[in-house]
Amino acid sequence: MEDKVMTLKEAIKKFVHNGCSITFGGFCGRNSQAAAYEIVRQGKKDLTFIDDSPTDQLDILIGAGCVKKVEIAWHGVSIFARALNFRRAVERGIPRKIEIEDYSNYAAGLRFLAGAMGVPFLPTKSLLGSDIPKYNKRIKIIRDPYEGKPIALVPAASPDVAIIHVQRADVQGNAQIWGHLANDDNKARAAKHTIITCEEIIPREKILQIPNMTIIPSYCVDAVVHVPYGSHPWSCYGYYYHDVLFQRDYSKYNKTYEGFLKWLDEWVISCDDHVEYCNKVGRERLLELTKMEQMLNKIPI
């Protein structure tokens, strides 16, 4: 069996290049937080970020100057604050001006589905009558050829790289996900390269016990990376609960750009890797989040 296991440093170095397009899995939970931190550490530039509703991972990448363009439906950080790096970039060009293509969440979801199906677009009854297509010329409104009524078309998204954080995978990349799936089944299929980061690498035999839970098959996976607590501070169903207090503290720093840079230095740049970040968050704290989650949700086998 092919073994695709590598470190996060190796995976980002190998697949994420300056100027490439990228998407992250999760949706306000099970996010690719560790990957975002590593991209900042490696100083990647000019990324086009394609997603549905990214949260602090994108705000951090924008603040660190890694992003040139976003194709998204929404961007916030957490319940505490707006994405202030995003605002500073759009309104004042700090640290650089970024381009925006606005979609809706369903439109973003359909873009990845189209990419995963290998077709150039998909139709939807969203977007009609709004200003989203007025400012985003890649969305087309046509008369549907069967009934003659207006319908919106959204272009397929096939990012260069998708990074999806999951609960479990085998070394070949069969990835199993519990809890909400967001658009991850399609993001993994649509991307040219897919990196799976996971809470646990499990033996093939365990995958075979519940093959229906393999949401992402190994044939669309290029790398498997073991990253426990890889979506902290976000929740990971069955593994740990949402550390919303960590986000409260991020929002205190992020009020100014200087404050953000201080946060970035403390939590990302001065940590060698995700293990060091987790040590800094505190192992006892992470364990408490795990206990809390397992009172709520347990993975059955």
Partner 1 sequence: MNAKEYAKDYTHEELMATIAAKEIKDGERVFVGIGIPMIAGFLAIHMYTPRTTLIFEGGYIGGRPPFTCTDVGDSVLGFKAPYITSLWRTFSDLQRGYFDLAIIGAAQVDKYGNVNSTAIFGNGTYDNPAVRLPGSGGANDIASSAKRILIMVRLEKQRFVPKVDYITSPGYINGPGTREKVGLKGGGPVAIITDKAVFRFNKNTKEMYLSELYPNISIEEIKRTVPWINIAEDVRVVEPPTMEEIEFIRSFDPTDIILRRKRFFENIDFQSWVMLHKLKVEEAI
- What residues numbered 78-117 form the site for partner 1, per CB under 8 A? 78-79, 82-83, 86-87, 90-91, 100, 102-107, 109-110, 112-113
Residue 155 sits at φ, ψ, to 5 deg, of -75, 145
**Cα distance between residue 93 and residue 240, in whole Å:** 36
Residues in the chain: 301
- What residues numbered 44-63 form the site for partner 1, per CB under 8 A? 52-53, 55
Of the candidates 221, 255, 267, 186, the one whose C-alpha atom is nearest the C-alpha of residue 3 is: 221
Contacts of 15 (CB under 8 A, 6+ apart): 160, 161, 193, 195, 222, 223
What is the enclosing helix (H) or strand (E) of 124? strand 121-124
Coil, strand or helix at 8: helix
Coil, strand or helix at 85: helix
Using CB under 8 A as the criterion, what x/- string covers residues 154-193 for binding partner 1?
Answer: -------------------------xxxxxxxx-------
**Cα distance between residue 265 and residue 282, in whole Å:** 18
For residue 209, the Cα-to-chain-centroid distance in whole angstroms is: 28
- What is the DSSP secondary-structure string of 191-230? SSEEEEEEEEE--HHHHHH-GGGEEE-GGG-SEEEE-TTT
- Binding partner 1 by CB under 8 A: which of 4, 11, 30, 228? 30
- What residues numbered 228-267 form the site for partner 1, per CB under 8 A? 234-238, 241-242, 244-245, 248
- Binding partner 1 by CB under 8 A: which of 137, 258, 295, 300? 295
Q: Of the ranges 42-50, 168-176, 201-209, 289-297, which one interacts with partner 1 (CB under 8 A)? A: 289-297
Beta-bridged to residue 143, according to DSSP, are: 150
**Cα distance between residue 110 and residue 71, in whole Å:** 13
Nearer to partner 1, 85 or 174 (CB): 85
72 binds partner 1 per the rule CB under 8 A: yes
135 binds partner 1 per the rule CB under 8 A: yes
Nearer to partner 1, 246 or 269 (CB): 246
Q: Of the ranges 1-9, 76-84, 197-205, 267-275, which one interacts with partner 1 (CB under 8 A)? A: 76-84
140 binds partner 1 per the rule CB under 8 A: no
Nearer to partner 1, 29 or 217 (CB): 29
Binding site for partner 1 (CB under 8 A): 26-30, 52-53, 55, 72-76, 78-79, 82-83, 86-87, 90-91, 100, 102-107, 109-110, 112-113, 124-132, 135, 149-151, 179-186, 234-238, 241-242, 244-245, 248, 285, 288, 292-293, 295-297
